[in-house]
Amino acid sequence: MTDTSVLNVRDLRAHYVLSAFGINRSVSAVDTVSFSIGRNEIYGLAGESSSGKTTLIRTIAGAIRPPLRILSGTIEFDFAGKRIAMQAATQNDLAAIRWKHLSYVMQGSMSVLNPVRRVRHSFVDFAHRHIGGTIPDFLNTVRAHIERLDLAPRVLNSYPHELSGGMRQRVAIALATICRPDFIIADEPTTALDVVVQKSVLAMIRSVQREIGSSMLFVTHDLSVHANLTDRLGIMYAGRIVEEAPTAELFRNPLHPYTRHLVASLPRIGVVPPVTTDLAGRPPSLADPPSGCRFHPRCPLAMPICADQPPSLRTVANGHRVACFAVGGAA
């Protein structure tokens, strides 16, 4: 929440509100989430499937379509003095910032490119409107940009199916960064790649991010990717951020019982894995989440208070926040 933060999310609640035949159902995919992302920072968001990661970033990107609805909370961007509150932004406001200031590498970004159009056309369709100028000038910019990303300019004349997975991924990232945005949202951009290609794509993301000086919100369930890339890491469980810390600190000293199990499940070189007990049960249904702390039915440290009221994120050390009654003293 400092002055240098680019994105401030406060108490965000976004639910899927469904109504059919007079019965209302609401899926609380994102519930009282607060965090901020600073300039030049790569913020990682981890969590298992259906923990609300994608919903959260869709909300942040303003790509909201019914039945998804923001119930309360604020999302504020600050692009070098240009402030915008996403929860109240009109279509015109969004059009003005998208791509130029805020870009989004979608989930399954392997298929961001239209398979029946040449890559060049996808660039023109998606990004030209945000840069302006003549088409040949624009294509020269694109050519220079993808050369920086170790791609041959001839990929522009290819169809997506003629490119390998790694190349397509690079093209998708080139497409998202062509306008040198202040903020990049990346939803599982490396999930479909093997580890070798993944490593080079991650290095590329890092170098692009450094070069254009943008902030990044990076989402994946793959903790090793987070360990490689991100500066800070937030762990989501059942629609809430349960713990947030600088990445190295979080791996060294996880506090929340869920994070502890998560980190303990990772294999480490040279360490014979201790026999840990598995967490019983499964993540809760977000249509009917448990009361209080959403982790309490599975938590080994559960106390009576956990079922009564949800714990808030409290700072326990420098930059380390955790939402748990059992950690760092009583609330």
Partner 1 sequence: MHRTILDLLRTNHAFTAGVVLLAIVIVIALLSFVSPYPPNDAYVVPPDVPPCWAYPLGTNSRGQDVFWQLSVGIRNTLAFGITVAAISRCLALAIGMTAGYAGGMIDRVLMSVNDTFIVIPLFPILVLFYFVMRDRMSWALLALVMACLGWAYDARLIRSVALSLRTREFTETAIFSGMTMPQVLLREHLPFVLPIVFSTTMNNINWSIGMEVTLSVLGFTDINTPTIGVMLYWANQHTAMVAGIWWWIAAPVALVVITFLGLFLLAVSMNEFIDPRSRLNRVRG
Considering only the stretches 112-120, 219-227, 287-295, 302-310, report the one whose residues sit in contact with partner 1 under the rule CB under 8 A: 112-120
Helix, strand, coil shares of the chain, percent, nearest 5, are: 35, 25, 40
The minimum distance between CB 59 and partner 1, in angstroms, equals 13
Q: Are 297 and 290 in contact (CB under 8 A)?
A: yes
Residue 99 interacts with partner 1 (CB under 8 A)? yes
Q: How far apart are CA 284 and CA 31, in angstroms?
A: 14
- The position carrying tokens 């960064």 is 177
User: Token match 């993301």: residue?
Assistant: 205
Q: Kindly give the pairing relationship between strand 320-322 and strand 314-317.
A: antiparallel
**Binding-residue pattern over the window 173 to 192 for partner 1, x denoting contact by CB under 8 A:** --x-----------------
Q: Is 77 in the site for partner 1 (CB under 8 A)?
A: no
Rounded Cα–Cα distance for residues 52 and 187 (Å): 12
**Closest approach of Cβ 64 to partner 1, in Å?**
11
Considering the complex, what minimum distance in angstroms separates the CB of residue 177 from partner 1? 13
Q: Is 82 one of the binding residues for partner 1 (CB under 8 A)?
A: no
CA 174/CA 135 separation, integer angstroms: 17
Q: What is residue 138's three-state secondary structure?
A: helix
Among residues 56, 57, 60, 61, which is the contact residue for partner 1, using CB under 8 A? 61
Q: Cα(first)–Cα(last) distance of the chain, in Å?
A: 21
Name the one range near partner 1 by CB under 8 A: 15-23, 94-102, 135-143, 264-272: 94-102
State the residue for tokens 């019965």: 23
**Distance from C-alpha of 221 to C-alpha of 273, rounded to nearest angstrom:** 21
* Residue 159 found at the interface with partner 1 (CB under 8 A): yes
Q: Which is nearer to partner 1, 156 or 250 (CB)?
A: 156
Residues 203-232 interacting with partner 1 (rule: CB under 8 A) = none
114 lies in the site for partner 1, by CB under 8 A = yes
Min. distance of Cβ 22 from partner 1 in angstroms?
Answer: 19
User: Which residue, 39 or 130, has its beta carbon nearer to partner 1?
Assistant: 130
Q: How far is the CB of 187 from partner 1 (least distance, A)?
A: 10
The amino acid at residue 152 is A
Q: Does 132 bind partner 1 (CB under 8 A)?
A: no
